[in-house]
Structure 1
Amino acid sequence: MSDKRTKTRGLGRGLSALMADVTPTEPQNQQGDGSRRPDMMVPIEKIHPNPDQPRRTFTPDQLEELSASIKEKGIIQPLIVRNRPDHDGEYEIVAGERRWRAAQMAQLHSIPVLVREFDDTEVLEIAIIENIQRADLNAVEEAAGYRQLMDKFGHTQEKLSEVLGKSRSYIANLVRLLSLPDEVQEFVREGKLSAGHARAMITATDPVALARRVIQGNLSVRETERLAKGAPESEQKGSKAPKPSRQEKDADTRALEGDLSANLGMKVAIDHESGQESGKVTISYNNLDQLDEVCRLLSS
């Protein structure tokens, strides 16, 4: 990113600005059906994919489904494109490659586009954001997207949370999955392990061995958490395991306790019994000033 853009696009505020350019709705340009009015219709052969698109896999079944929808209703949301570098009259996709591929399958001759001016760094940034917002990403892919946004562009978890509508603890817990061995991460990518299973393995002595055991025994997340903490052999699936005590907390609960403690500046404990909807939150204060602050927050 050029120095000029760095000065005009502050951290976080710049990410919001990028999102505003590719957001699905734009009231001042909306048509009666809620879709966005394109800048122009462009011959499909004049549009090219982004060569640095981080997502390389496009599920055939989903493309077929999208193609059938496009045949029936057309492309409701225009693609976001930029002028293709060194190719006058041609365009490069910034957001919407799936729609472009599906439009080809539907044999459309031209497609609606919104033309925006983005540099190479911004194009990559938007491509990562678009991928994160896709519903079919697995937990490791989503975590890698957050990590890229933080490492490559300097965005904090708080700013990502604000712009993408995710809680900071949700982002933090996903990113922690990237500390697991590659084999365990691959199990998550393949759908053999859930994100909950993987989070429970982060503190395990041998995550790979535990992952194989969980897959082989089709163990639940709770059973995985007990094994990760070194529970005895008798607590494998199929045996009658003792009910976990209220002190045995999963990774999400501990992360939420940390978030609340950091925000309040006081120790926060969450007691939530497995399988129940109710529980309690305990806030410990060190002096009367902190008690006053708690009262102020609860009454505001």
Structure 2
Amino acid sequence: MSKRLGKGLDALIPSLHVGEEDKVVEISLKELRPNPYQPRKTFNEDSISELAQSIKEHGVIQPIIVRSVLRGFEIIAGERRFRASQHCGLEKIPAVIRNFSDQQVMEIALIENVQREDLNAIEIANAYQALVEQFQFTQEELSVKVGKSRSHIANFLRLLQLPDDVKQHVSRGTLSMGHARAIVGVKDDKTKKELANLTVKNEWSVRFLEDYIKQLEETKQPQKERSKERKGDPYIDQLEESLRDRYRTTVKIKHQNDKGKIELLYYSKDDLERLLELLQGKIS
């Protein structure tokens, strides 16, 4: 897959590479502005500081690539070098000027960052959506552009259906792509937010979250449908239903020869404490 991605970028913009024949010019940092199509919204400050230290010692070794616009120049590739140079207090930076269309600039920004794994899942999803909306790409066409499968594109675009609070968790890295994919399948936005908060608070794994959602959906399933799935004792089924409503969790009654046991499932320490308080009659 990485070969397809690299090949796609080279085929898209073969002139991204700076060669010996290129004319390198010194451009004032004041004349430069960031790429408006840059999908990456956050930059690691420690990484920028490290790059700035390197630039202080060795200078900007690789020129940035820009295009001429009405007022100055727009950065096509090399925004980290630009930011690090600002950090150093430099006045100018070496650059190569290229002629690119808006579509090419968007595609470069997206593909270059995805190739380097610099973007979080929400940034990637927003970048895909921008390409779809601005250039009317189908998911199939976009998959060819970025060298990813159509299902990969679809999975990222689905993340945009998440509530803003949940998307912020994904952007910060407190929720992984796997967590987000599990949560986005839940219908109710309020439940999505609750699941996100529980996952972050209790540091749930993706597998644990998926199991929790499965159990949650089972408790919400109508009693008649659950009865169809298993042919059990109607009296036991009714008791389980009543206990589920009472304790708001999965309840299993295992009954044989007038003996048995009742199992209450909990999914976190807080959930266990809630059940204990219910059982002790401290809360209603």
For these two proteins, the number of residue pairs brought into alignment is 213
Cross-structure match for 2:199: 214
Cross-structure match for 1:11: none
Q: What residue ranges of structure 2 are gaps of 5+ in the alignment?
A: 1-7, 217-249, 251-263, 270-284
Q: Distance in 1 between matches of 2:142 and 2:201?
A: 36
Cross-structure match for 2:78: 96
Larger deviation, residues 143-152 vs 116-125: 116-125
Match of 1:143 among 125, 143, 146: 125
1:218: how far off? Answer: 1.7
RMSD: 3.1
- Larger helix share, 1 or 2: 2
Seq. identity, %: 43
TM-score, length of structure 1 as denominator length: 0.60
Q: What residue ranges of structure 1 are gaps of 5+ in the alignment?
A: 1-13, 32-36, 239-300
Match of 1:225 among 185, 210, 213: 210
CA spacing shift, 1:49–1:131, aligned 2, 3 Å: farther
**1:55-91 alpha-carbon deviations (Å, 9 max, x no partner):** 4533322211111222334334321111231x4xx43
CA spacing shift, 1:204–1:51, aligned 2, 3 Å: closer
1:106: how far off? Answer: 3.0
**1:250-296 alpha-carbon deviations (Å, 9 max, x no partner):** xxxxxxxxxxxxxxxxxxxxxxxxxxxxxxxxxxxxxxxxxxxxxxx
Cross-structure match for 2:87: 105
CA spacing shift, 1:74–1:171, aligned 2, 3 Å: farther
Q: Distance in 2 between matches of 1:19 and 1:173?
A: 27
Q: Secondary structure at the match of 1:43?
A: strand
Greater Rg over alpha carbons, structure: 2
1:212: how far off? Answer: 1.8
Cross-structure match for 1:179: 161
One-letter amino acid of the counterpart of residue 117, structure 1 = N
CA spacing shift, 1:148–1:16, aligned 2, 3 Å: farther
- Contact 2:106/2:131, CA 8 A, preserved across alignment: no
Q: Distance in 1 between matches of 2:49 and 2:170?
A: 25
CA spacing shift, 1:230–1:177, aligned 2, 3 Å: same
Q: Distance in 2 between matches of 1:207 and 1:45?
A: 44
Cross-structure match for 2:59: 74
Larger deviation, residues 226-235 vs 206-215: 226-235
Match of 1:59 among 44, 47, 58: 44
